[in-house]
Amino acid sequence: MLHEPTQIKLYSMKFNGMAEAYDEQRAQPRSAELPFDERFGLLVERQWLWRENRALATRPAHARLKQPACIEDLDFSPARRLKRSLIDQLSPCDWVQHHQNIIITSPTGCGKTFVACALAHKACREGHRAIYFYAPKLFRALSNATADGSLTPLLKKIAEVQVLVVDDWGSVKAVNANVGSS
């Protein structure tokens, strides 16, 4: 079999990791000494790692988190009153698998957004999909989608993720809907 057509087919099937490993095996004459099953296993392993690394890089990007926060960067100083034990409990992301919600409350400026983004980023690293919304923009988008008939795609986009971060839920002043005559 010719090398070039094989490479073209591997790349066209998006087996980039396998194609790279195939090139490396061809460049190392000693790899020909390995049994077929072992060589093939190395190619498959490389493809699997390539896909995992690609997903690991794209999940946080698709989440569009407001801040590039990581659990490891959280500040547990006494002034923050953030409990390390609670974050350690949430860090494995079991709450995602059990379909549990997290509500973060604290006065303005205490770092709720950073904590939420850090938890969402950790969930992405654990293999879950996440998405970030600023509440007023989400509500506007839902209202506009209802008006223009595009609500179904928006709801589908939201339903496809396991972690939905809605930030600044209560920060917008309620509109006074006083109906009646004066």
Q: Exposure pattern of 119-139 as b/e (b: 16+ CB <10 Å)?
A: bbbbbbebebbbbbbbeeebe
Q: What is the pLDDT of residue 29?
A: 83
pLDDT tens profile 118-144: 999 999 999 999 999 999 999 999 999
More confident residue, 126 or 55: 126
Tell me: the pLDDT tens digits for 15-44? 988 888 888 888 888 888 888 888 889 888
Q: Which of 51-55, 64-68, 171-175 has the lowest mean pLDDT?
A: 171-175
Ranges in the chain annotated CATH 3.40.50.300: 71-167
Distances (CA, A) of 167 to 50, 81, 101, 127: 33, 20, 14, 22
Domain 71-167 has CATH 3.40.50.300: yes
CA–CA distance from 48 to each of 18, 31, 39, 98 (Å)? Answer: 8, 20, 14, 27
CA proximity to 157, closest of 145, 140, 170: 145
- What are the CA-CA distances from residue 68 to residues 59, 72, 93, 113, 144 (Å)? 13, 12, 18, 11, 29
116: closest CA among 100, 127, 131? Answer: 131
Q: Please determine, for residue 174, whether its predicted confidence score (pLDDT) is greater than 70.
A: no
Condensed to tens digits (0 to 9), the pLDDT of residues 81-100 reads: 889 999 999 999 999 999 99
Q: Tokens 């509109």: give the residue.
A: 175
**Helical residues (DSSP H) of 64-130, grouped into ranges:** 84-90, 94-97, 112-125
How does residue 173 score in pLDDT terms, banded at 50, 70 and 90?
Answer: low
pLDDT mean over 139-165: 93
pLDDT at 58 exceeding the cut of 80: yes
